[in-house]
A and B are shown apart, each in its own frame.
Chain A
């Protein structure tokens, strides 16, 4: 799975968490929380979605790697199963 494919899937999960998401308006290097006004419940739903979709276990200590779209893609690229 290349980075574009990962990014597309991450955006799909984000859209399920934040229905009003406009992918084109999302700055990939800016905080997801700040841009999308997501709270801890939303963030947990995002982590659950990423974990299920990519088949990776995401410990709480790794949450700090998931604060931007680019960071999510980079994190998952190194862990996602093909």
Chain B
């Protein structure tokens, strides 16, 4: 049995509103199946279940109040032997709360409470203040998933170690979640701005950014693209941006330290390369959902995923995994005429790649000056995770890969 929680669909999400259930009590749920729609400050998101099982009970009806991240929305009877959860990075390891608002879900959902008379023996041993918390990785992950503040849990394991059972017990004993106050009357656009403001302020407060830039000659890439598109029907044509996304993903294979998350005080590189692509929304704001395994997709597959993602982002039908899985973000403001973009890293990611406008400029090659289409590629890196040297190697790899477009 496990709770299906209000998911944290990004570093900037603190609350959501249940819009629709796709399942009724008693119906089976496949792992990864979309079972509900949740409204966030940015969009309506199709939320997938991370467990297989049967929907036991619905706890929150559609159309109600805004609920904090971590609020139980339903109970799922899991299949025997099935993993209870495979939460995404944001749920597994939420960033510590910022010094100011917004309030983190963990502090709303699970206020510390004294031990109850029914607490099992042996007498649990609380972690002393300032002492390193003893907790198993599985228990820590489960606590994050349930929105339980681990420092408030009394451990019953060896030397007071917090076990999975301790976390489950704390979840059962906590008082019912108090619904978050209803969202202010401000319109959707204002709430999106508030969400972006919170995430970006947090990024700048917590992540020591370094910035690098390089100029890349796009002659070969654009010539290859023009030739390829001339052979393709209009419905199959590629955009230059897709080449940049693919090259950015491939370059991460050479410098994997830039791909992943900063969790619990250290970098956690990801083997999978899920590129978040920044998509501006009509009426303002942006989202950066993931193109999963971007390094492994062909250009035509990548193009299909990209255009589908843009359409669904603007229609408000993204999936929860797309919101939580990006291991790096790529943004381009070239179409808006800027030469370069020095982006703000989306926490808890480790880096952001930016592209400016492709412009024709004089460029020296082999001692001769010619006019070439050039683009400025930038890297914003988290200096806690990498140094400028590694960042420079990444941009060098990106440049090199774009000089061989036929291999993309």
In chain B, positions 208-233 with a C-beta closer than 8 Å to chain A are: 226, 229-230
Contact between chains at A44 and B229 (CB < 8 Å): no
Number of interface residues of B (CB under 8 A): 16
A48: chain B residues within 8 A (beta carbon): 234-235
B230 touches A41 (CB 8 A): no
Report the minimum CB–CB distance from B16 to chain A (whole Å). Answer: 25
Q: How many A residues touch B, CB cutoff 8 Å?
A: 16
**Complex-state Cα separation, A58 to B230, whole angstroms:** 10
Residue pair A60, B310 in contact (C-beta under 8 Å): no
Contact assessment for A60 and B226 in the assembled complex, using a CB-CB cutoff below 8 Å: yes
- B contact residues around A40 at 8 Å (CB): 239-241, 335
B236 to A, closest residue via Cβ: A48
Secondary structure call for the B interface? helix
Q: Contact check: which of A19, A39, A51 meets B280 at CB < 8 Å?
A: A39
Q: Which residues of B contact A45 (CB under 8 A)?
A: 307
Please, which residues of chain B bring their CB within 8 A of the CB of A37?
Answer: 282
The interface residues of chain B lying within 8 Å CB-to-CB of A60 are 226, 229-230, 237
Within 8 A of B (CB), among A4-19: 18-19
For the complex, give the distance between the alpha carbons of A51 and B234 in Å.
8
The CA-CA distance from A59 to B226 in the complex, in Å, is: 10
What mask results when residues 162 to 205 of chain B are scored 1 for a CB within 8 Å of chain A, else 0? 00000000000000000000000000000000000000000000
CB distance from B194 to the nearest CB of A (A): 22
- Could you say which residues of chain B place their CB within 8 Å of the CB of A59? 230
Whether A47 pairs with B335 at a CB distance below 8 angstroms is no
The 0/1 profile, CB within 8 Å of B marked 1, for residues 52-73 of chain A is 0000011110000000000000
Chain B residues near A (Cβ < 8 Å): 226, 229-230, 234-235, 237, 239-241, 280, 282-283, 306-307, 310, 335
Binding site for B on A (CB under 8 A): 18-20, 37, 39-41, 44-45, 47-48, 51, 57-60
